[in-house]
Chains A and B, each alone.
Chain A
Amino acid sequence: MSEMMANRRDFLRVGSGLLVGLFIPESSRLAAQGRGGNGAVNPNAYIHIGADDSVTFLITKAEMGQGTVTSLSQLLAEELDCDWTKVKTEFAPVNPALYGNQGVYGSASIRTTWAPLRQAGAAARAMLLDAAAQKWGVEKAGLRTENGFVVNPASNARLSYGSLAEGAAKFPIPTGVPLKDPKQFRIIGKSVKRLDTRDKVNGKAQFGLDARLPGMVYAVVARCPVFGGTVAGFDATKAKAVPGVKNVVQIPQGVAVIGENTWAAMQGRKALEVRFDEGPVASVNSEGIRKMFAEYATQPGAVAKKTGDAEAALATAAKKLEAVYEAPYQSHSPMEPMNCTAVVYPDRCEIWASTQMQSGGRSTAAQITGLKPDQVKLNTLYLGGGFGRRSGTDFLSEAVEVAKAMPGTPVKLTWSREDDMQHDLYRPASYVKFAGGVDAEGWPVALTAKVACPSFFGGRPGTVDSTAVEGIHTLEYSIPNIYVDWRRADPGIPTTFWRAVGYTQNTFFAEAFVDELAHAGGKDPVELRRKLLRNSPRLRAVLDKAAEASNWGKPAAGRHQGVAVVNNVGSFTAMVAEVSVTAGKLKVHRVVCAVDCGHIVNPGIIRQQIESGIVYGLSASLKGAITIDRGRVQQGNFNSYDVLRIDEMPRVDVHIVETDNNPGGIGEASVPPLAPAIANAIFAATGKRLRSLPIRPADLA
């Protein structure tokens, strides 16, 4: 089956039933006019208009709470000029020919769709105008659109988009249709309500774990608790004797127990006798990892940044400071544990998944089954949180392996919370040794940072994995002498992207150490940052906004403030935390955040995402950490890895500083500055510098 046929089938699937009079493309036309062909964005790939005037947008980006279903629809609807109240959405099929690589990471959804989706909307609108002009026998130029209608002002005639859709589909896809001036936006920039809220309050929304198929069986996998370990042998007798257990099969990742429901499979797994070869990681523990990092941080590393001569400047600095900062492994722990449903036939495979890597998931399944990618259909369901965890395809691979062992039977594979926490791909632990110097006036003249941590994104030896040092080597401060290097230290614990990636630990390190430099030089932390940000107007503007909105320098009685800034994912963020420490007990009262993410699509969603990142940051700063003993993760569930609860939620004030720049990312913008803002506020309150996360009550006593 060719890619082209797959395209057509996908469209017909979308089109069957309710929708008629769609933009159903001829497959030949698609091939000629798909994305990249003549440069036009093909509106058929994104917009379907029904004869009943319904408008269905195909959402190419997975929805994990970051609001893509709504904000991508806003981009399309703005230029299409349709009736927002009639908009429905579906997740688009995986189709590289039409959509390129489909995945959600790097807070890039709006950044990568800002132009093409508006162009698609504009092209579809132009085609509807063509159809109306032809029908009325008038010039297209005299017509306008209005909320889902084409209107002829000369005659007051009106035709709905639904009545024009079929005719419009016959016109060639135009190129270079002018886009609206942002001043005319009526949907972009508005806090329209999320389109998926109703289904998320009545139980109808289908998450990955909610996939159901006739004849489906339920699987769990027994894995070696030590990373990299393998199955040495197993005896399935006792597992098979558990009521409801249907099958036990070995897969490369472990031994799968299959039951008539999830519970039966879990009980079967408890009864399963399995022996593992634990492998070399079995001797790894957190203390050893820390020693390794500490040793590596004294050795020469790959140079990430070198400006001026930091060594020489440190030698002549009026005051010199040294400090070591550390952060632990962190689990993602989205509320929906990893899971995937798959069925494998000799000539095709179908998958239902909550994944951040739709394209990657499809190719992984093709590799495992030996099928061609276009014989694999991946259905995207809602993600019960992602945070980077679902950029891995490990759980999808397991489901496809089990399904491959039981051809024709749909298999739902579920990870327990313990599986999820103990077989995560973690946020790397990290360690940095700083030195800094200030001149006689108290201004920083030199900064050196030697980073030691694992790499999951690194290239060749000797090169720098930017995710290991981002947040330090990207600092926008005008400090004349800077040196940053990195030594890869890999203890064998799997790691991956974690909301805001390297910035999550490095912004804590750097922004807390810069605070130390401010105090060493007798400078107010905001004043120091303002001066050092003289060449970074966007960052300075949000700093000013956050300082003003938080009444910087004048906290309420008994409270203390800390500040931090970051520029990541194309956005600029400043944060002021207000805390009190009473009898060794920390309370975070308020977090003020100012963000410049350029043009804004949905201020309501931006506020929610900023707040969401703050909560995520608070959990990582004040709550759980992942620790290793004998190559195993010591935490297993929310009793040993706690997260922020409603009673600890501070007041959050978000200030959006809108600028005329291309949109920046938002999902990861507010995580990095949270930890340093808190640590700096704790210093203000207690005079204690906390240089290791998470902050424990014992650290405050």
Chain B
Amino acid sequence: MAITFTLNGGRQTVDVNPQTPLLWVLRDTLGLTGTKFGCGMALCGACTVHLNGSAVRACITPISSVAGKTVTSIEGLSADTTHPVQQAWMEEDVPQCGYCQSGQLMAAASLLAKTSRPTDADIDEAMRGNICRCGTYTQIRSAIHRAAAIKAGAKA
């Protein structure tokens, strides 16, 4: 069944089983491998993307539910790695193995879109669904605060 949606600013049509999770459409059908598979059950956050601007777990989002909507994956977060969270992540040198980081960045970007100066409690709440087995949590927290500052600076 053909399903059309907006992906990273462009119109996209795919012809797959409508039950197929968005994660596998992105990775296998469309070759956008920045979105990661970690658990398949909305338990780890590795597959986080934005659906109409909000963070969702692509591993449990059937492609049929995406029809007509707007999806942003890590590849579309910015054209040139300049989104405030990407800048902050580079300045704090957050990633270790890096595998969880696409999901972390997408979750953080969604948090900042809604809460411009998140508190530590806001960060806990928004990010506790994103596992990092390498243990980059302290750096993630610093980077989110830094990204908020970058964003505020850019606006000022």
Contacts and interface: CB of A to CB of B under 8 A. Distances in A.
A234 to B, nearest CB: 23
B13 interface: no
B97 A334 contact: yes
Contact of A382 (B35, B73, B98): B98
A613 B133 CA distance: 10
B131 A263 contact: no
A243 B89 CA distance: 41
Nearest to A199: B98
B4 interface: no
A333 interface: yes
Contact of A637 (B16, B43, B97): B43
B75 A263 contact: no
A196 interface: yes
Contact of B131 (A66, A204, A638): A638
B118 interface: no
Given A193-B93, A209-B33, A637-B41, A335 B131 contact: yes
B96 A207 contact: no
A637 B39 contact: yes
A647 to B, nearest CB: 4
B14 to A, nearest CB: 11
A567 interface: no
Main DSSP-derived SS at the B contact region? loop
Contacts of A63: 97
A675 to B, nearest CB: 15
Contacts of B29: 261
A200 B101 contact: yes
Nearest to B98: A200
A311 B131 CA distance: 48
Contacts of A93: none
Interface string A94-127: 0000000000000000000000000000000000
B28 A335 contact: no
Contacts of A205: 98
B7 interface: no
A261 B24 contact: yes
Interface string B114-152: 000000000111011111111111111100000000000
B33 A210 contact: yes
B34 A645 contact: no
Contacts of B43: 417, 637-639
A688 to B, nearest CB: 27
A151 interface: no
Main DSSP-derived SS at the A contact region? loop
A336 B99 contact: yes
Contacts of A645: 128-129, 131, 137
A147 interface: no
Contacts of B73: 203
Interface in A503-556: none
B41 A207 contact: no
Contacts of B131: 335, 638, 643, 645
Contact of B44 (A193, A264, A335, A651): A335
Contacts of A637: 39-41, 43
A647 B141 CA distance: 10
Nearest to A609: B96
Interface residues of A, number: 64
B62 to A, nearest CB: 10
B100 interface: yes
Nearest to B100: A335
A333 B128 contact: no
B77 interface: yes
Interface in A639-660: 639, 643-647, 649, 651-652
A665 B74 CA distance: 34
Interface in A47-63: 63
A203 B46 CA distance: 12
B50 to A, nearest CB: 13
B56 interface: no
Interface string A400-427: 0000000000000010110000000000
Contacts of B66: none
A649 B89 contact: no
A261 B75 contact: no
B102 interface: yes
B138 to A, nearest CB: 6
Contacts of B28: 218, 261-263
* Chain A CB within 10 A, most for which of B17, B46, B94: B17
7 contacts: A203-B75, A335-B46, A387-B133, A416-B40, A608-B136, A615-B137, A649-B138
Closest 5 CB pairs of A and B: A203-B34, A615-B135, A384-B99, A65-B97, A65-B96
Given A203-B73, A639-B43, 13 more contacts: A64-B97, A65-B96, A197-B89, A201-B81, A203-B34, A335-B132, A336-B99, A384-B36, A384-B100, A612-B134, A638-B41, A643-B131, A647-B124
Interface of B: 16-17, 20-21, 24-25, 27-29, 31-41, 43-44, 46, 73-75, 77-78, 81, 86, 89-90, 93-102, 105, 123-125, 127-141
